Structure 1
Amino acid sequence: MTRNLRTLIGWGAVLATATAATVTVGATAGGPPNPPPAGPQARPTAGQGKEPQTGPRATESRRIATSVLGRDFTFTLTALRSPTDPLAASVRLQVFTFKDGAWRESDRALVGETDAWFWFPLTGRHAVCEFSTAGTEPAPVAVSLLITPSTGCSPTENYRIENGRIIPV
């Protein structure tokens, strides 16, 4: 029993010495000591303070591809940044027809789902993997976009344009 007590006391002395050494090294090794808090820190709660009221954010858009087929059709792909998630985006396909001396939008559709794309890969270099159009009737349109650089391109979405209207295939 005495032997066990001496062992425990010995371990206690080793532990106390190690702890003191750690405290001493910690106090002398770093920069200036942390100052004590000056007083209670005020923490804002709901309803206190004035926060700027912001309205709905304007949708940021960027044209990522255009195809002009003579004087019949113009197709555009536009990235639309999500108003709720700054990393998400949607893609809009628009068809313009030339009537009465001006290009007029005849139809628009989303490519994929709303906010299903990532904004930065979609608006960066090499974002459009495939965007093919043809001037035949009905006009076929194929779209494939970059999901992420590591994932690669999306499956091709196919559409046809009949009388200026977009029809998913």
Structure 2
Amino acid sequence: MIKNSRTFTSWGVALATATAATVTIGATTGGPPNPLPTDSQGRPTASQGKEPPTEPQVTERRRIATSVLDRDFKFTLTALRSQADPLAASVRLQVFVFKDGAWRESDRALVGDVDGWFWFPLTGRHAVCEFSTAGTEPAPVAVSLLITPSIGCSPTENFQIKDGQIIPA
């Protein structure tokens, strides 16, 4: 009985091998030849070098705070994820003035250093420690953000807005 099952197994392997050989031979000898590629630039060859350059990456951004003072000013804090380090981020303060029925950006400035913040704490739940604005002239703006949960909040950075322009205080 064991001998018979070995015989069936060996015949099955031989039959599968013969079938594969027949299919391969039939494919190479019969039928039309493979079509040539229509686009010679479709794939880079060894002589062409590296792949063509891709489009630049879009910077991921997330608005973390907004303050609107009547129809005079609108302030936003936006986190900008670093393209060099996915864990780093920058923060941009933007000032908008209401003109001709729409908010128009009048100025922008960085809060802190370029890529000087951590992306995940900055875009998390308690990222804004302080963001105060006032409608006086010049308008004071104070910003303090979470560095990390274990370190806590950053020192407050102060700005003044005069005629729609940001002036570090």
TM-score (norm 1): 0.69
What is the CA-CA distance between 1:155 and the residue it aligns to?
Answer: 0.2
- Where does 1:19-38 land on structure 2 (aligned, <5 Å)? none
Distance 1:59 1:135 in 2: 32
Give the structure 1 partner of residue 131 of structure 2. 131
Which runs of 5 or more structure 2 residues have no equivalent in the other structure?
1-45
What is the CA-CA distance between 1:52 and the residue it aligns to?
Answer: 8.7
What is the CA-CA distance between 1:71 and the residue it aligns to?
Answer: 0.4
Aligned residue type for 1:89 = A
| Residue aligned with 2:150, SS | coil
C-alpha RMSD of matched pairs (Å) = 1.8
Aligned residue type for 2:71 = R
| Residue aligned with 1:121, SS | helix
Give the structure 2 partner of residue 92 of structure 1. 92
Aligned residue type for 1:149 = P
Give the structure 2 partner of residue 120 of structure 1. 120
Distance 1:142 1:113 in 2: 16
- Where does 1:76-91 land on structure 2 (aligned, <5 Å)? 76-91=76-91
Task: Summarize deviations over 1:31-73 as a string: whole Å, max 9, x none.
Answer: xxxxxxxxxxxxxxxx8xx879644321000000000000000
Give the structure 2 partner of residue 33 of structure 1. none
Aligned residue type for 1:119 = W
Aligned residue type for 1:145 = L
Give the structure 2 partner of residue 156 of structure 1. 156
Which runs of 5 or more structure 1 residues have no equivalent in the other structure?
1-46
- Aligned-pair identity (%): 83
| Equivalent residues, number | 123
Q: Does 1:105 align with 2:105?
A: yes
Distance 1:74 1:118 in 2: 25
Distance 2:55 2:132 in 1: 39
List 4+ stretches of structure 1 deviating above 4 A.
50-54
TM-score (norm 2): 0.69
| Residue aligned with 2:75, SS | strand
| Residue aligned with 1:56, SS | coil
Distance 1:151 1:53 in 2: 41
- Where does 1:5-44 land on structure 2 (aligned, <5 Å)? none
| Residue aligned with 2:120, SS | helix
Give the structure 2 partner of residue 142 of structure 1. 142
